[in-house]
A and B are shown apart, each in its own frame.
Chain A
Amino acid sequence: EAGVTQFPSHSVIEKGQTVTLRCDPISGHDNLYWYRRVMGKEIKFLLHFVKESKQDESGMPNNRFLAERTGGTYSTLKVQPAELEDSGVYFCASSRAAGGYTDTQYFGPGTRLTVL
């Protein structure tokens, strides 16, 4: 089965521009997560979808970040307008069953975002 995929793998944009990151979870996985790693820091949780609903978005840094998961399949994370501190690696993960907190989260390779 195909793993979690993310697009693009790298993105370089200027401050003030808009960027949209995409994540395709493993087919059939209800749970989809977004995480971010800023350079030199730990990987931090951003938000969690169960199917198309936002279960927990307490990790979203501010209202410049908008995540969607229409139809409960792929998800997008839009940053508008981007700021320098948004640079980092954005990871997406998915897991199978809703509410299964022992379920393994399968991670994608990440999108490296650089804001100049």
Chain B
Amino acid sequence: AQSVTQLGSHVSVSEGALVLLRCNYSSSVPPYLFWYVQYPNQGLQLLLKYTSAATLVKGINGFEAEFKKSETSFHLTKPSAHMSDAAEYFCAVTERGGNNRLAFGKGNQVVVIP
């Protein structure tokens, strides 16, 4: 069964600084990987997804993530944090050839400090 680890429930970042959210997965088969963001009072919105094409995936709002098979990682980055990036971020995995269910990490609540 697949699983996802996100460390650090709360992450503080200064406005203009690098945003780095770590995600490590375990999966018995090649995975599909996703990052979702949840803004207050809204549903989860897809930021980006990895589906075995390019290992560096670009998403919305300036975010990107790199799939590293050797490290079983899919870390999310953004070069310069903006106040509007304050939200909760979730990494998720689903198994290629398996069912469609998403397995989520615990999430990172990002606080942007002016």
Which residues of A are at the interface with B, using a C-beta cutoff of 8 A? 3-4, 31, 33, 35, 41-45, 48, 55-56, 59, 91, 93, 95, 99-110
Instruction: Determine which of A45, A99, A104, A110 lies in contact with B101 in the assembled complex, contact meaning CB atoms within 8 Å.
Output: A45
Q: What's the A-B contact tally at a CB cutoff of 8 Å?
A: 65
Contacts of B43 in A (CB 8 A): 3-4, 91, 106-110
Pairwise interchain contact A109-B42, C-beta atoms closer than 8 A:
yes
Pairwise interchain contact A33-B100, C-beta atoms closer than 8 A:
yes
Q: A42-B105, A101-B94 are in contact. Are A48 and B44 (CB under 8 A)?
A: no
Contacts of B101 in A (CB 8 A): 33, 45, 48, 56, 59
User: Would you call B25 an interface residue if the criterion is a C-beta within 8 Å of the partner chain's C-beta atoms?
Assistant: no
Q: A91-B44, A101-B96, A107-B36 are in contact. Are A35 and B106 (CB under 8 A)?
A: no
Which residues of B are at the interface with A, using a C-beta cutoff of 8 A? 4, 32, 36, 41-46, 49, 51, 90, 94-107
Pairwise interchain contact A95-B100, C-beta atoms closer than 8 A:
yes
- Give B50's nearest chain A residue, CB to CB: A102
Instruction: Determine which of A42, A99, A101, A110 lies in contact with B104 in the assembled complex, contact meaning CB atoms within 8 Å.
Output: A42
Contacts of B105 in A (CB 8 A): 42
Pairwise interchain contact A104-B46, C-beta atoms closer than 8 A:
yes
